[in-house]
């Protein structure tokens, strides 16, 4: 690779002039400007971004630590984020991590001058991050400064309102873990019931930690004669797919007997029946992240809450 020295030599000017031409070409004689351009073209010169980074103390790289278990959603996020970042001449440094220590490792390796900022997405475990130049998205973070969170309570409330509008008044809910997410879902769930003058039945709610959704569903079905539920709220589209399969094994029609609702995204595949869901617009999220990253650091950003859209088949 040729350097600025090669260009300056070939063009017969100094390095500074070369730099001036290629950066902000102001105050340069047309003759030398052309000479530089010609020499650069000839040598196929491209300024070394590493040297520029050393000087400017910023690399234009954004570390993205993807802790999202749902691999479908990961890709959607990544795609949207990369699109936004490259539009802003930023680079996406990708890491996957599935536990607190892995996140910490990734963070360490990215925070040695390589990245200007780090985005952590979708962690479903506690994480202790120095919230300096790192923003967390859809994560279970203790202090929610520098974070973009999804409004799961609102999602659950919207879901219930929709289900009730469809004549479903016995709504069961299954979440994979008992954490802050589950709490918020429960909040929205209860609120919707209350607003619709429906009773809350604890037996319809499964938020145990060590119980898989299929076991929970089994327990629901065992009591189905007394519970008589006709709608089921689950965490995401994969959970939905699982429970739908299970329900069909129980000879239950979906959505006729039991309407299944996904609280995060839906599977859009030909041949797979679409289900009602809350969709979080990944493009909006990506744009918001990038806006945050590219704005002036001094303007303290406030934590953001994102609401998804109700999507019905």
Three-state DSSP state, 141: strand
15 binds, among DNA, a second copy, none (CB under 5 to 8 A by kind): DNA
Contact status: 22 vs DNA (CB under 7 A) = yes
Copy the structure tokens of residue 305: 């809450």
CB 282 within 8 A of CB 74: no
- Check binding of 133 to DNA (CB under 7 A): no
Point out which span in 12-20, 94-102, 165-173, 228-236 binds DNA (CB under 7 A).
12-20
Q: CA 22, CA 5: separation in Å to the nearest integer?
A: 13
Radius of gyration of the chain (CA): 26
* Min CB(304)–a second copy separation in Å: 24
Q: How far is the CB of 42 from DNA (least distance, A)?
A: 15
* Residue 39 in contact with DNA, rule: CB under 7 A: no
Which of the choices a second copy, DNA, none does residue 91 contact, using the CB cut-off of 5 to 8 A by kind?
a second copy
How does DSSP assign 71-138, residue by residue?
A: HHHHHHHHHHHHHHHHHTT-EEEEEE--SHHHHHHHHHHHTTTT-SEEEEE---S-B----SSEEEES
Alpha helix (H) residue ranges in the chain: 4-11, 15-22, 30-43, 49-56, 71-87, 100-110, 152-165, 180-195, 213-222, 224-227, 237-249, 282-294
Residues near DNA (CB under 7 A), total: 32
Residue 106 contacts which entry, DNA, a second copy, none (Cβ below 5-8 A, type-dependent): a second copy
Tell me: does residue 38 bind DNA (CB under 7 A).
no
By CB under 7 A, residue 54 contacts DNA = yes
Q: What is the dihedral of CA 109, 112, 116, 118, to 10 degrees?
A: 30
Which one-letter DSSP state was computed for residue 46?
Answer: -
- We find the least distance from the C-beta atom of residue 2 to DNA, in angstroms, to be 8
Interface residues with a second copy (CB under 8 A)?
1, 46-51, 53-54, 59, 61, 64, 71-72, 74-76, 78-79, 82-83, 86, 89, 91-96, 106, 108-114, 238, 241-242, 244-246, 248, 267, 269-272
* Least spacing, CB of residue 11 vs DNA, in Å: 9
Q: Of these partners, a second copy, DNA, none, which one is at the site of residue 173 (CB under 5 to 8 Å by kind)? A: none
Q: How far is the CB of 250 from a second copy (least distance, A)?
A: 13
Question: Interface with DNA includes 61 (CB under 7 A)?
Answer: no
The least distance separating a second copy from the CB of residue 183, rounded to whole angstroms, comes to 28
Q: Are 177 and 163 in contact (CB under 8 A)?
A: no
Which span (43-51, 127-135, 187-195, 205-213) binds DNA, by CB under 7 A?
43-51
Of 121, 127, 194, 213, nearest to 156 (Cα)?
194
Q: Are strands 134-137 and 205-206 parallel, antiparallel or unpaired?
A: unpaired
Integer angstrom CA distances of residue 28 from 24, 37, 136: 10, 12, 45
86 binds, among a second copy, DNA, none (CB under 5 to 8 A by kind): a second copy
- β-strand pairing of 231-234 with 91-96: unpaired
Q: By C-beta, is 47 or 60 nearer to DNA?
A: 47
Looking at beta carbons only, is 69 or 208 nearer to a second copy? 69
Pick one of 9, 10, 32, 293: the residue that binds DNA (CB under 7 A): 32
Instruction: Catalog residues that contact DNA under the rule CB under 7 A.
Output: 1, 3-5, 12-20, 22-24, 27-29, 31-33, 45-48, 51-52, 54-57
């Amino acid at each position: 690779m040729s350097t600025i020295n090669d260009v300056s030599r070939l063009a017969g000017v100094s390095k500074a002039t070369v730099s001036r031409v290629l950066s902000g070409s102001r105050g340069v004689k047309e003759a030398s400007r052309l000479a530089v351009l010609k020499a650069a073209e000839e040598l196929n010169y491209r300024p070394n971004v590493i040297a520029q980074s050393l000087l400017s103390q910023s690399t234009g790289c954004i570390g993205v630590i993807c802790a999202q278990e749902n691999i479908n959603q990961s890709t959607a996020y990544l795609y949207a984020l990369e699109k936004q970042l490259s539009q802003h001449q930023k680079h996406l440094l990708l890491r996957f991590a599935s536990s607190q220590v892995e996140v910490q490792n990734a963070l360490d390796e990215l925070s040695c001058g390589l990245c200007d900022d780090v985005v952590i997405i979708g962690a479903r475990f506690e994480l202790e991050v120095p919230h300096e130049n790192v923003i967390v998205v859809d994560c279970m973070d203790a202090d929610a400064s520098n974070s973009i969170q999804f409004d799961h309570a609102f999602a659950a409330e919207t879901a219930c309102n929709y289900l009730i509008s469809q004549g479903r008044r016995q709504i069961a809910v299954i979440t994979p873990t008992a954490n802050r997410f589950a709490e918020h879902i429960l909040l929205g769930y209860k609120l919707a019931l209350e607003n619709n003058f429906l009773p809350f039945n604890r037996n319809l709610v499964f938020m145990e930690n060590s119980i898989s959704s299929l076991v929970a569903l089994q327990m629901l079905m065992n009591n189905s004669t007394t519970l008589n539920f006709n709608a089921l709220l689950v965490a995401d589209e994969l959970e939905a797919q699982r429970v739908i399969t299970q329900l069909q094994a129980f000879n239950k029609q979906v959505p006729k007997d039991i309407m299944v609702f996904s609280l995060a995204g839906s599977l859009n595949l030909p041949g797979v029946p679409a289900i009602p869901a809350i969709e979080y617009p990944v493009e909006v999220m990506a744009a918001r992240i990038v806006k945050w990253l590219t704005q002036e650091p001094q303007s303290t950003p406030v934590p953001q809450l994102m609401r998804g859209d109700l999507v019905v088949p």
